[in-house]
Amino acid sequence: MKKIRAKEINEKITWQDITPGAEIYEPATSRYVQTGDWRVMRPEFIEDKCKQCLLCVPFCPDSSIPVKDGRRGDFDFAHCKGCGICVRVCPFDAIDFVKEDR
């Protein structure tokens, strides 16, 4: 029986033959999967510094900053991946970025 090497197989596969993956068919699918375990760094909300400008909310790629009655709440850590975008866009330093404790 002849052994087929991975390189030999890969050279014969075209992009049309590859099974599609990671296709998103509807918005907000991250709500279905708790992805917060991926986090290495964790944002911390400093409520007394927050001016409720809500600038951080639309920048969050995972919708992990809840807003209720026009005010932001603490992070949804079940979905926050710790990308740090919110920390960078906050003009009032109301979000700190610390190492995740596990």
pLDDT band at 98 (very low <50, low <70, confident <90, very high): very high
What's the CATH number where 41 sits?
A: 3.30.70.20
Query: 7 in a domain, yes or no?
Result: no
> Number of folded domains in the chain?
1
Query: 61 in a domain, yes or no?
Result: yes
Higher pLDDT, 19 or 66: 66
Tokens found for residue 16: 């049309």
What single string gives the DSSP state of each residue in 85-97? HHHHH-TT--EEE
pLDDT confidence of residue 62: 87
Query: 49 in a domain, yes or no?
Result: yes
Highest average pLDDT, of 1-5, 15-19, 65-69, comes from 65-69
Average pLDDT over residues 6-22: 69
Taking the CA of residue 59 as centre, how many other CA atoms within 13 Å lie in the half-sphere pointing to its CB? 13
Tokens found for residue 80: 């926050």
Q: Residue 65 — left, alpha, or beta (φ > 0 → left; ψ -120 to 50 → alpha)?
A: beta
User: Looking at the chain, which runs of residues are DSSP E strands?
Assistant: 41-45, 67-68, 71-72, 95-99
pLDDT confidence of residue 22: 64
Query: 65 in a domain, yes or no?
Result: yes
Q: 93 lies in which domain range?
A: 34-102
Query: 72 in a domain, yes or no?
Result: yes
Query: 23 in a domain, yes or no?
Result: no
pLDDT confidence of residue 3: 53
Global pTM reads: 0.67
28-62 pLDDT tens trace: 666 677 788 888 999 999 999 999 999 999 999 98
Averaged pLDDT score across all residues of the chain: 85
Looking at this protein, which amino acid is placed at residue 51? K
Query: 5 in a domain, yes or no?
Result: no
- What are the backbone angles phi and psi of residue 50, rounded to the nearest 5°? -70, 130
Query: 27 in a domain, yes or no?
Result: no
